[in-house]
Structure 1
């Protein structure tokens, strides 16, 4: 039965062994299915070759079948690499190959994550880039070019300690090639092999696949992740190809420390492009920054960080785990070994999480305080409490903050709020797992706000019971106060004290040019928040209020969110808080061109 026919769906048995359960995704080469291996009683992923046209010329059909076999051979050669999806086998069924691969439970590809959550923080992008670069370099050392590095081919999944998105995997070697072996290059006559917008200029011009070309694609991918769109995305594929070859990428606005890496990778001339070694060193410095830039908790504030002692639970029942395969592994530079060994600790850094292990040793005065003497609270924090934070030496996030509570959130502008209180079975478990739990519990909220970080306030050893056996997860303004409640703690109808607490997809009732209230998106509203943009450091607040609409129309265009540009236009909100903190962050909205209200049926 031909692959891709209606009978090739769920319930079909492949090669007498694999029962197709449901489709996981697909691409230009075929569908990927979740399947049950009846022999080993576990789940695997199967890649099915699909021919859109049964009358496809035999030469093209043979080329695609050969490409599938090549994918299995190339990926199998990287079996055992921690950042490559494992290929178990390639088999024939109905005359066509199927590739049996590792099923990565709980995985989401980077493209979908960006669509759901919006752009990522520079440190998070650097951590992902470091893992993908490691996979690419391992392939390059074997002579294998990936040729299609893009967000859709990067999977993020929970790691063995359960940290969300902690595992990074490069997948889909279906168009890879070994140029020095005389192997046939499976390039269809009708199309470029690769994805428009992520191709290197020399590849778009018909040049050969090289390691430098993969690095350019990695640069495009990281640019997309940190900026929210690809650097050469245009209205049509042809325009995108032309932009890759002839235009410079749009200057990044949100990349921060990642900007030099992007600049080095996106050089047009492959001979002048940044090398893998230099890129690896730069990414490692971002992920594990020097203490003066992003200080970690000092020893006197707590015990060993959780990634030094985090347990590694056995694989879940029903998961196929490949047998160890002897592989010749390249020696990673010291910086990369240190970063990869960080595991859970990296996730805390890249997600914006900073944790305050402020407890003291048993028997020391003040140890009975819930979070220790440094934090200073005599009572445990409750969910929804607003807090004021004072930092040692006046430097934000340098050591544990000394906190004061404002349960009603009615005092002067709070620095942040308690948004979650995950429980632990012991003080040791709280120290090991509390920061990761806070990173997970606050991830979605942080993705909806413009400029926040998380602090996990872990109970002191002798204050564990007094803290209710719970770690307090705070969301704090990264550079200044938050000016009010966040998340679901905001009451409809409440006026925003500052745009700092506006969140993506908030709907606004605009009473005047300077006042907006939070309202339900199901009813009438004047504007909806789409995202954020940062203006230059030399722009004053008064100037921002006159130029922000144009900046939002350029960087966060409503049409990208499904709004008809003939009916809708971009709006913006700029507040004093962003200018006092120096972030110059502007909230970008969408509104009707005629000034009318928007209804719940909008995109």
Structure 2
């Protein structure tokens, strides 16, 4: 640090590995702005002329030489983290997230600006060469940028093989070791990974085929089966069994419409009672005429008796039906058959939105085997492991098993991106409990290292006290009462600090040493100026909690606050 490159660029601090060469944050003394500098991987004469204009490439401003070493001068992307570091911090990414990354890489492969025909050596993408940064909409990893220019080729520098290894690392959290190392978290991405890695029989996947498969994963088809097309003029089956009642000619069209509506809404019990009590030799039209014409006193009593019998029969039928449903459900709950998610999960009622759960794993090993769940609907039972955040409907239990986990990864991605140390867990309906589970998979966000200690995301109430830092999320505004108490408040008013991100302290740091160490780590790794805060007015802060030390994660929350201790207002720059 403090080194001057090419007499113009002052190195400030390292930004990360970024591949073989270290990237640095530097100050351009000529233009008075911040840039990123990195030792070039090739002779500058072999690089395409800057700037390279592509939405998924870090903009290259210039290539300079310093002490016979070529340096690439690039744009500085605030808030960016490379894929390798992100996976190391927060665990494997969702298949849909990995598919978005793959599409970004493939778009660079097809772009002329990537260096095709310019003599650029063949090289593939690596996790450390992919940056994920906040986009304009505020999504923390919505912008995908490549540090190096990826060029399709063959042999050692095969970009598609490198892409397969990169996506495998992103979705599994580790490098593929050998041909027998099959992906277990890839979901819908699995078949494409096998082809990218050259493990599937037949020719390797092409760029066009990979793009089509990744695009399907990012935006999956909503219809998983062909819907039957209904003739708009057809009548429901039960309408044929009920002859139409004669109407005056002047209201024929109205009568037909009313007849169709009435037949569709008639209850099964009433229809059955009417057919059982009315003599088969008497047409329905004749019966209707007798109800509308003057008759003898006995004739008046007969329709009333018939109506009374119909009502009694309908009530008795309804009582028997309800009793049968109760008996069936009670019997299924008693013998374990028909439970919504199977006997291993143990729940006898379907999960609801916002339910907090505790998960007890077989053998006590986290994320192995099927967890046995208990529900805390109020989310106040001490330290819940997770909370239901979304649902994925399905047309069958088989479809839920096949698509539920991957779809849950997609549905919970937004809330997981704003939290730290969490994972997605899909609670899939059992075969004989599919209807009981309301034909849907429950998507639960659970703590990756330990309990979550309270509600998440939209289920939190303004003014509530954080029981632990585990439920704090990016851009939360805090009313800090003391070092131990912080409340969630609206960012539209005044508040004391705002959450910017997260970091982890070294395993040797004790809980007593954590506050001082966390302030230093946050100032270095999550500096407020990277988020647009003026360093002359704002400073870095942090919050720690005992839960992170009980779980061994040593995760701390990095915040921003005013230097003079005053309050803040608004949601940031």
TM-score w.r.t. length of structure 1: 0.50
C-alpha contact (below 8 Å) 1:155/1:171 kept by paired residues:
no
Shift of 1:171: 5.1
- Residue 173 of structure 1 aligns with which residue? 111
Q: Structure 1 residues 407, 118: CA separation in 2 closer, same or farther (over 3 Å shift)?
A: farther
> Residues 295 and 510 of structure 1: is their aligned pair in 2 closer, same or farther, counting only changes over 3 Å?
farther
| Aligned residue in 2 for 1:542 | 512
2:363 maps to what in 1? 393
**1:582 aligned residue:** 552
TM-aligned CA deviation for residue 131 of structure 1: 8.3
Would the alpha carbon gap of residues 392 and 507 (structure 1) be closer, same or farther in structure 2, given more than 3 Å must change?
A: same
Match of 1:503 in 2: 473
Q: Aligned partners of 2:437, 2:471: CA distance in 1, in Å?
A: 28
Equivalent of 1:551 in 521, 531, 539: 521
| Other-structure match for 1:527 | 497
1:333 and 2:241 correspond? no
Give 3-state SS (helix, strand or coil) of 2:359's partner: strand
1:163-312 alignment, distance < 5 Å: 169-170=107-108, 173-177=111-115, 185=118, 209-212=120-123, 218=126, 220-222=128-130, 224-225=131-132, 283=166, 286=169, 287-288=171-172, 296=184
Asked if the contact 1:496/1:517 (under 8 Å) is kept, the reply is yes
Alignment of 1:453-472 (within 5 A): 453-472=423-442
Deviations 1:385-417 (A, max 9, x none): 110000111111112211000001111100010
Q: Which deviations, in whole Å up to 9, do the C-alpha atoms of 1:169-222 show, x marking residues without a partner?
A: 43563334466xxxxx5xxxxxxxxxxxxxxxxxxxxxx73225x65xx56533
Question: Quick one: which of 65, 74, 87 aligns to 1:121?
Answer: 87
**Could you tell me how far apart the structure 2 residues matched to 1:569 and 1:597 are?**
13
Q: Compute the displacement of 1:473 (Å).
A: 0.6
Deviations 1:3-47 (A, max 9, x none): xxxxxxxxxxxxxxxxxxxxxxxxxxxxxxxxxxxxxxxxxxxxx
TM value normalised by structure 2: 0.52
Q: Once structures 1 and 2 are overlaid, which stretch shifts more, 117-126 or 579-588?
A: 117-126
Change (3 A) 1:452 1:335: farther
Match of 1:326 in 2: none
- After superposition, residues 140-155 of structure 1 pair within 5 angstroms as 155=103
**Structure 1 residues 435 and 601, CA, compared in 2 at 3 Å: closer, same or farther?**
closer
Checking the alignment, whether the CA contact within 8 Å between 1:367 and 1:461 is kept in structure 2 is no
The yes-or-no answer on 1:444 pairing with 2:417 is no
**Root mean square deviation, CA, Å:** 4.9
Contiguous gaps of at least 5 residues in structure 2: 1-47, 57-76, 135-146, 150-155, 219-331
Alignment partner of 1:488 is 2:453: no
**Higher gyration radius (CA):** 2
Q: Give the 3 Å change call, closer, same or farther, for CA 532–274 of structure 1 in structure 2.
A: farther
Contact 2:423/2:448, CA 8 A, preserved across alignment = yes
Compared CA separation, residues 210 and 131, structure 1 to 2 (3 A): farther
**Per-residue deviation, 1:430:** 2.0
Which residue does 2:319 correspond to in 1? none
Tell me by how many angstroms 1:461 deviates: 0.9
- 1:451 deviation in Å? 0.4
Is the 1:284–1:335 contact (alpha carbons within 8 Å) kept by the matching residues of 2?
no
**Partner Cα distance (1:114, 1:305) in 2:** 27
Aligned length: 354
- Taking the TM superposition and a 5 Å limit, the aligned residue runs for 1:56-135 are 120-121=86-87
2:353 corresponds in structure 1 to: 383
**C-alpha spacing 1:175/1:277, structure 2 compared with 1 (3 Å):** closer
